[in-house]
Amino acid sequence: MPTNLITIARSGAASARAAIEISAQNIANAGTPDYVRRTLANSELVGSGNIDFDAQSAFSGVRIGGVQRADVDVLQRVVRDGISDLAAAQAEIAGLRVGEIALEETRVFETLVDFESALLLLESDPSDPALRTGTVEAARLLTQTFQFAEGSLEDARDLTASEVSAGIDVVNGAAGELAQINVALVNAREGSGGRAALLDARDAALKELAGEVGIETTFDLRGIAEVRMAGTPSLLLVSGNMASRFDAGFAASGSAQFEVNGTPLTLENGAMAGRARALDRLIALSGELDAIAANVITRVNNAQAAGAALDGSPGQPLFSGTGAADIALAFDQGALLALAQSGSLPGSRDTTNLGNLIASIGAETGPVAELDRLLLSHASRIAGSEATRDGLAIIAASNQAQLLRQTGVDLDNEAASLIRLQQAFEANSRVIQVASEMFDTILSLN
Amino acid sequence: MIQVSNPTRAFFERAIGQMAGLRGAIETSQTQIATGERLQRGSDDPVGASRLRALARLEGRGVSETENAGRLAQDLAQADLAIGDVIGVLQRARDLAIAAANDPIGANGREAIARELEQLESELFTRANSLSVTQAPLFGGTAAAPAYLRGPGGAVVYNGNNTSGAVPIASRTEIERGVTGPQVFEFTLAGVPSDSFAVLSGLAADLRNNAVNPATAARDALAGIDAAIDTANRSQTVIGTRLAFVEDIQINQEERAIERAQQRSAIADTDLAETIARLQQTLTALEASQASFARISSLSLFDVV
């Protein structure tokens, strides 16, 4: 049946051409993020029918099937979870880093130690006006540094809070996009290139979402996604064509509170959870710095109260204020420093009270030791988080590599396919030629 | 159809990731070499950073203690000089007393000696009120200047107190700032408290008093002057001992400053030889991986399609 032969070969050639198109599409998108390799699902086409009395099957070549997209939902989910964990660690470290810079670069520890050294210097000659002035100026620098450090911590909080606000827009944008993709998926025909592109877009949106907040996703048969936030409680973010409104508010203390459609929830991972944790830590840091400043104020002012100034009058408080934000000098005359013990005569060079103050500042519960512990614990926390982050980064990268193995385009593979398909196309053409020659042979019979 | 393969993008991403890691290591080494500091932030090595802070604090204290020791040495040296002068004055008074005791001198001679003794007593008073560089009394204890006052009858009264105060010049080491006036000028003579000023002015008064035998008075006064010289000498020895101790501690302070600097360097400074070697190693690895990446990525079946 030469005509049948021609039909079969034509369908084969068409199928080879279609497969080459898919290969070309794969090669073109070899570098496209979130692109999943496509393949063509072909099937044999056999026509059967009764002609006269003879039931017969008629080979009709190949049927060009739909565009297939590797189904890797489970792997995608693992990748998303890895991204959420990594993003949380990274966002937290970023926030903590700003806090570390605020504490270390303002040199608050060094300034406190300088103040201590200035006091120690006074021991040599407590009546020297130059040394007294130097000590008051060291105290002034200390107040300014505390305020500077507190201001820097406040800036760090503001920065993290603005990142939280920016993240809100990303989440709501991705959720809205997902709802629209869900609608489009309902109308997309199974096996069409458009549907595959929609699924790519769906996975990309989910990945973007996972970077900001941890999510739990389920798909129905048509690939429509339902997204829940991983948190307590687990709230619905996207269902069908409905996207809930994700929002964040800030408490008076400055800590972030998340809500979905007005229902509050605590997030487990994702960059938003990391930022919220960093924000809480920065707030705690401010509180601890405040406590240390208060410690300095109390210890110095108590010592002042227990001593006598250079003119023999009872010591006045050196610092005013209650914390790092409002610590200030109450006087700036060096003569008012109460270095001698209470009741000393004017001009006394007694240093009993000064010795007590130096011991009090350097004590195990004093501000120097407390500040060192604060810096040590914060730095250790960052170093620990960085170790965790590095581990999570390796996990995320290996998940991603695993996914790419299944979904990525292998150019060598595609090149081999091209050669194979080219040969298939040529072979089918040859079949047509053979059929035509057979036809000619029959027609030339006399 | 699930196909397990080695996708091109995975290959590129892996290569990029590896090279970025190498470049990151190179940049860290480069920063360490350029700044000379191993730790850029506390979180690079939290415990090391804490030790650095402790060392920085010790260094700050060390600077203050060195400064304190310097000032203390200065004060002690001045007190030493002042007491030396006091002894000189007393020696001269002793010579005069011996002259008055042995030589037959007339009323004029006695008057001359009495005047000189008064002059010496007044000089002694000036020395007793010597001030340090920062205008603090050298012999007034921790009280304000002046150390000695002259009372209405011309008698010299101590105005200071009996604590000289101590200066910390090393951890747990305090050295007294000086000696108080009574330690230099006061003593007991035959069970009766007396002082250098009273001995000199007493002898001057006796020499003027016709009722008293000047030679006997001068001989009696000699014992008092000897006691005064003894007392001043003792104080000078005390000051000298402290000065020697301060100098010892100053040498010790220098050694400790160097030791602290070494400890600090061990924690905070870049080990140049090691870092440069590591940098070279990483550079070699980066160059090799770039070359191999370029060669492998140029391999493609498309060359033969």
Token code pair at residue A112: 């406190």
State the alpha helices, DSSP H only, in A188-214. Answer: 193-212
Q: Does B81 touch chain A (CB under 8 A)?
A: no
Q: Tell me which chain B residues have a C-beta less than 8 angstroms from the C-beta of A101.
A: 41
Specify the 3-state DSSP secondary structure of B40: coil
Token code pair at residue B305: 């399609």
Q: Tell me which chain A residues have a C-beta less than 8 angstroms from the C-beta of B172.
A: none
Contact A345 B144 (CB under 8 A): yes
Q: Does A398 touch chain B (CB under 8 A)?
A: no
Token code pair at residue A434: 């053979």
In chain A, % of residues over pLDDT 90 = 71
305 residues of chain B, pLDDT tens digit each: 445 567 788 888 888 888 999 999 999 999 999 988 888 888 888 999 999 999 999 998 899 999 999 999 999 999 999 999 999 999 999 999 988 887 777 778 888 888 999 999 999 999 999 988 888 888 988 888 788 998 888 888 898 888 888 888 887 888 888 899 999 999 988 888 888 998 888 888 888 887 778 788 888 888 999 999 999 999 999 999 999 999 999 999 899 999 988 988 888 888 889 999 999 999 999 999 999 999 988 887 777 76
Q: How far is CA A399 from CA A392, A405, B230, in A?
A: 10, 10, 92
φ and ψ at A43, to 5 degrees? -145, 160
Per-residue burial over B214-241, b if 16 or more Cβ lie within 10 Å, else e, is beebbebbbebbbbbbebbeebbebbee
Token code pair at residue A163: 């990142």
Q: What CA–CA distance (Å, rounded) separates B126 from A285? A: 60
Closest to A338 (Cα-Cα) out of A321, A362, A317, A365: A317
- Amino acid making up residue B42: G
Residue A274: pLDDT above 90? yes
pLDDT, one tens digit per residue, over B82-126 is 999 999 999 999 999 988 887 777 778 888 888 999 999 999 999
Q: For residue A54, what pLDDT is reported?
A: 65
Q: What CA–CA distance (Å, rounded) separates A131 from A125? A: 8
pLDDT, one tens digit per residue, over A106-148 is 999 999 999 999 999 998 888 888 999 999 999 999 999 999 9
Token code pair at residue A187: 């109308």
State the residue for tokens 């056999």.
A46
- In angstroms, how far is CA A75 from the centroid of its own chain? 20
pLDDT, one tens digit per residue, over A193-251 is 899 999 999 999 999 999 999 999 999 988 999 999 998 899 999 999 999 999 999 99
Token code pair at residue A301: 């002012």
CA distance B207 to chain A (A): 40
Residue A1: pLDDT above 60? no
Contact A408 B42 (CB under 8 A): no
Q: Tell me which chain B residues have a C-beta less than 8 angstroms from the C-beta of A382.
A: 42-43, 46
Q: What CA–CA distance (Å, rounded) separates B128 from B150? A: 12
- Minimal Cβ distance to B6: which of A120, A407, A410: A410
State the residue for tokens 């512990």.
A373
Q: For residue A313, what pLDDT is reported?
A: 92
Per-residue burial over A325-344, b if 16 or more Cβ lie within 10 Å, else e, is bbbebbbeebebbbbbbeeb
Q: What CA–CA distance (Å, rounded) separates A436 from A6? A: 8
Q: What CA–CA distance (Å, rounded) separates A342 from B71? A: 26
Token code pair at residue A405: 């193995």
Q: How far is CA A168 from CA A81, A204, A246, B161, in A?
A: 19, 18, 7, 73
Contacts of A259 (CB under 8 A, 6+ apart): A246, A247, A248, A249, A265
Interface test with B, best of A92, A93, A123 (most B CBs within 10 A): A123
* Per-residue pLDDT band at A164 (split at 50, 70, 90): very high
Token code pair at residue A446: 């006399």
Residue B63 in contact with residue A110, Cβ under 8 Å? Answer: no
> How high does pLDDT run on average in chain A?
91
CA distance A328 to chain B (A): 24
Taking the CA atoms of chain B, what radius of gyration do you get in angstroms? 39
Q: For residue B107, what pLDDT is reported?
A: 79
Q: Which helix (H) or strand (E) holds A38?
A: strand A38-40
Q: How far is CA A242 from CA A72, A178, A239, A248, A329, in A?
A: 25, 9, 5, 20, 59
CA distance B226 to chain A (A): 32
